[in-house]
Amino acid sequence: MDEPQSQAASTGRPDHVVPPPLLSKDEERVLDLYDELRDLEVKVALMRAQQNYTQDSSTSNTEESVRQAQEDASRARAAWLLRSDIADSIMTANPILKAVHGSTQSTPIESDLLPHIQARDATSITISKTASEIRKTVDSLTEVEAESLRVGRRNVELTAEILQLAEEAEKRKAGETDDPAVQMETARLRGGLKASRQRWKVMKGTASAVVAGSGVDWARDESLRDIVLDPEED
């Protein structure tokens, strides 16, 4: 009963890890030749492109011509990848169907494909879920950034309003206004206030001199002391 556990422990491989398929030497050779064929196809395509390329002497290597060449290369690469994917799908469709449906005519290597197909499907589902979560996160981040921009713009508007209100408050405090009539009235009132203060200073100075020179003990009388010692207000 403990033999399977001891075998799993001896291999040092978790149970959920799918072991690599057992390939014969001929099968490995076929796969290597297929990879070499793909590599040769790319090299042949590059050589043909170099041979067919003829530079027009009237056309210089401008940015437009370079961009056009890059677009042509991208289209050629996309067409080659599409053709290769179609060929791979055609060659792998039949073995995958035999492995999934348990065909009695499947070879041992085709039967061994089933756990790898299941692992591939599980990985595809995981990648799809991860991509969906990443997309949701990106969308949320975009919304947060947009809201941050809106809040920043609103803060700028509020700051401008606060500065304007502060400036108006300073003007009111200083008695400044843009109305000419109010400015004239303010100037008249300030002139009258200045004249009244000057008259008050003269009267207070005269009264202080009279009290101080009268010989009365003004220091003991609070009202007289205020007349003599009270400082003048500006």
What pLDDT is stored for residue 129 in this prediction? 93
Contacts for 31 with CB less than 8 Å, ≥ 6 apart: 23
d(CA 224, CA 211) in angstroms, rounded, equals 7
Say if residues 72 and 53 touch (Cβ distance below 8 Å). no
d(CA 137, CA 124) in angstroms, rounded, equals 20
Each residue's pLDDT tens digit, 61-71: 677 777 877 88
What pLDDT is stored for residue 230 in this prediction? 62
Each residue's pLDDT tens digit, 34-74: 889 888 888 887 787 777 666 655 555 677 777 877 887 78
Q: Which residues of 113-146 are buried (b: 16+ CB within 10 A; e: fewer)?
A: bbeeeeeeeeeeeeeeeeeeeeeeeeeeeeeeee
Residue 75: both structure tokens together? 């289209």
* pLDDT above 70 for 92: yes
Which among 87, 65, 84 has a CA at the least distance from the CA of 76? Answer: 84
Each residue's pLDDT tens digit, 139-185: 888 888 888 888 888 888 888 888 888 877 777 766 666 667 767 77
d(CA 234, CA 231) in angstroms, rounded, equals 10
Say if residues 84 and 38 touch (Cβ distance below 8 Å). yes
**Residue 227 confidence class, pLDDT cut points 50, 70, 90:** low
Each residue's pLDDT tens digit, 183-225: 777 777 777 777 777 777 777 777 777 767 666 666 666 666 6
* Average pLDDT along the chain: 75
* pLDDT above 70 for 9: no
